[in-house]
Amino acid sequence: MALLMRPRCFCYSVLLPPLLVLATLAAASGAAADAGGREVERTYIVRVDADAKPSVYPTHAHWYEAAVLAAAGDDAGGWPEGGPLIHTYSAAFHGFSARMSPAAAAALASAPGVAAVVPERVRRLATTRSPRFLGLLSSPPSALLADSDFGADLVIAIVDTGISPAHRSFHDRGLGPVPARWRGVCASGPGFPPTSCNRKLVGARFFSKGYEATSGRMNETAEVRSPLDTDGHGTHTASIAAGRYVFPASTLGYARGVAAGMAPKARLAAYKVCWVGGCFDSDILAAFDAAVADGVDVVSLSVGGVVVPYYLDAIAIGAFGATEAGIVVSASAGNGGPGGLTVTNVAPWMATVGAGSMDRAFPANVRLGDGQVLDGVSVYGGPALETGNMYELVYAGASGGGGASSSAADGYSASMCLDGSLNPAAVRGKIVVCDRGVNSRAAKGDVVRRAGAIGMVLANGAFDGEGLVADCHVLPATAVGAAAGEKLRKYIASSTKQRPATGTIVFEGTHLGVHPAPVVAAFSARGPNPQSPEILKPDLIAPGLNILAAWPSGVGPAGIPSDTRRTEFNILSGTSMACPHVSGLAALLKAAHPTWSPAAIKSALMTTAYVRDNRNGTMVDESTGAVAGAFDFGAGHVDPMRAMDPGLVYDIAPRDYISFLCNLNYTEQNIRAITRRQADCRGARRAGHAGNLNYPSLSATFAAAGAGTAAATMRTHFIRTATNVGGGRAVYRASVSAPEGCNVTVQPRQLAFRRDGQRLSFTVRVEAAVAPGERMEPGSSEVRSGALTWSDGRHVVRSPIVVTVQAPLQ
């Protein structure tokens, strides 16, 4: 291999130690080439054995640079002035990221000392009422807030778009000094002077090298090279997790009250990794690395993307390093619902959080000229439509609808209200119906407004179902579900010039005490777990629909450039909003129970979650109105007051995750890429299966036999170990609600604990039967749900049981 190097580097081929492990490298074949026939470069993340650095290299960075130069060979060069390295990692992860060709990456993967080479992926960003809805009362303080001192001295890392440091939610009045163990920094830059941090916001960093390595130098007229949040997402999530008490708080007059985060006295550290072009793996991993080194207690990550094997997933790798350091990692499940297999961030060492509603709504109903009233929601604070007036309705996507511009003759673009698609002469002074999809909901309103229309109705399609999100529209507008949207389109289609379709929008403000609540938000990503179905994901849900939280002063509430309105708080929806609820609650639990591991904290949150709504029925799916299941809400909706005293927890040590990975049939090299540890999988594979990870839920997948008339019974078993944290002696007895068509037995059925901290194990055997003559469509599956509950008369420890029976494809 030819070697090009700077004078400070030494000979790579001579001085590196023997090969330790061969990396798994995806996407190395079939690489794209530029016009000159050269392979197109991309960013790769490289894990190394830190102990393999030859002593002749002064630093790991010198070693890394030599390795990249050697792998690049004759193609070396063309890197920025600082050299080929983008980031170096040393806390949550040992290694570096660099930009290179697929051929160079493949060569590097086989180099001595290299454990893994992972292609970078780009991720996307997936409250006045929620503390009270969750039972976190400030006066008198609830037990969890009191026992945790409101999360004081715990540090929550927000890995997101940055933060707006001057916001009232981040003031430090009444807080003690910065914890002595804190090792972080307050990085400065445009709009973010060194004095931006305080005793509340104790640290701030930004990571853009990965973004700029792929996208080119950032446009600093549109973005700022500092931790300052110019998007709003990071400020919003940070205040949900740990915002101070602020009164009055509202968005354009909606949701008036006291704003507060889950852990109001917890400290915050902002790690900006998301930019206009997205959130890049190498930057996210750099944030994890810094957060571990800085000494955070919780990482909150409202970012997601595609699901890949854990050894190719930079978030899973960074989260494992954080978990190993005792840090709780909470991540958003994604907004790909209501379809199945859409959940992201599925590694078992992370808490994966879906979204539910609260008992608050913002009705904005459509009243039609024929007397129909269609339910809708909106957060619109401008001049309302004139009371008593009815306005002509137009749907430009209809054949002959007349609303489309000449450049959109097929009506598709106009039906979506894409930029330039509407004919101003046809829509001026009217209410335009727009279909969801392609461009953002707020952007559709801007298109409609610029075309001269007076209002907008945003109608769901069949895939969206009945799920509704209240947006801060720039004109009088509301959103309606799929059924209402169909009625609206039919009403418009039946109109004539003599009898045009007419309607208006009636804005009703803020309603409290809504039933049913919570419901599973339509957008919330669903299971099963695409990577390891033995682990139920999402883990649980938390408030994520129409959440009020802090907002930067320089960003309009609609989040589009044309919105010149300003508001101190904004209402957003997404699993991005649900995740920081759990992050803040994890900080409270860690403050109250400082010896609990990340797995114990997650167990407490999961086994105390509830599945019944405020009508005392099982929670429903917002998209369909049907009863929801474990693939929708995991263990259930978070209940922080019960999580404070769960009775039992299912603890997991880092070595247990290695056994889990072994039972996924990962190679020892794959496992080392994630864990930095040598793994001997022979014993682990003999001992059981991946479902035997000591997880707070139980999930089994059976492959049904082919079509036939004989009955079939499929069997598996789970081993679990419960740790007593309820205080002293206790006897727990098991009760089982078996999934339909299944037989579930627990042995022993009684656990007698003699002391706090004692661990006792039990076995759960599951048999799933396929009845004689029962036929399943090829490739279909049946999901059956139940639960195992342990109780000592004071504590109730519930674990969902999910059984999936899959039919063969043929």
Give CA–CA dist 315/120, Å, rounded: 11
The active-site residue out of 62, 87, 94, 233 is: 233
Our answer to whether residue 147 is catalytic in this structure is no
- Asked whether the beta carbons of 238 and 170 are under 8 A apart, the reply is yes
Q: Does 576 participate in catalysis according to the annotation?
A: yes
Residue 644: exposure state from Cβ atoms within 10 A (0-12, 13-18, ≥19): buried
Q: Say which of 97, 330, 576, 623 is annotated catalytic.
A: 576
Cβ distance 524 to 515 under 8 Å?
no
Closest CA to 199 of 229, 176, 180, 227: 176
Q: Which helix (H) or strand (E) holds 314?
A: helix 314-324
Pair 480, 458: CB distance under 8 Å? yes
The residue type at 577: M
Distance of alpha carbon 291 from alpha carbon 441, whole angstroms: 34
Query: What does each C-alpha distance from 33 to 40, 101, 354 come to in angstroms?
Result: 5, 10, 40
Q: 756-767 burial string, b = 16+ CB within 10 Å, else e?
A: eeeebebebebb
How many angstroms separate the Cα of 224 from the Cα of each of 82, 436, 551? Answer: 21, 32, 17
Q: Report the side by side order of strands in the sheet with 376-377.
A: 373-374, 364-368, 502-507, 391-394, 431-435, 455-459, 477-480, 376-377
Nearest to 520 by CA among 436, 636, 605, 441: 636
Q: How far apart are the first and last CA of the chain?
A: 50
Of the residues 160, 231, 294, 471, only one is catalytic, namely 160
DSSP 207-232: --HHHHHHH-S--TTTS-SSSB-SSS
Element (H, E) at 62: helix 60-72
Between CA 120 and CA 97 the distance in angstroms is 9
91: tokens are 């806390």
- Nearest-angstrom CA–CA distance, 434 and 170: 38
What distance in Å separates the CA atoms of residue 666 and residue 659, rounded to the nearest whole number?
A: 10
Q: What is the C-alpha to C-alpha distance for residues 266 and 244, in angstroms, rounded to an integer?
A: 9
DSSP 195: G
φ, ψ for residue 90, nearest 5 deg: -145, -5
Contacts (Cβ under 8 Å, ≥6 apart) of 486 = none
- Any idea which residues carry the catalytic annotation? 160, 233, 576
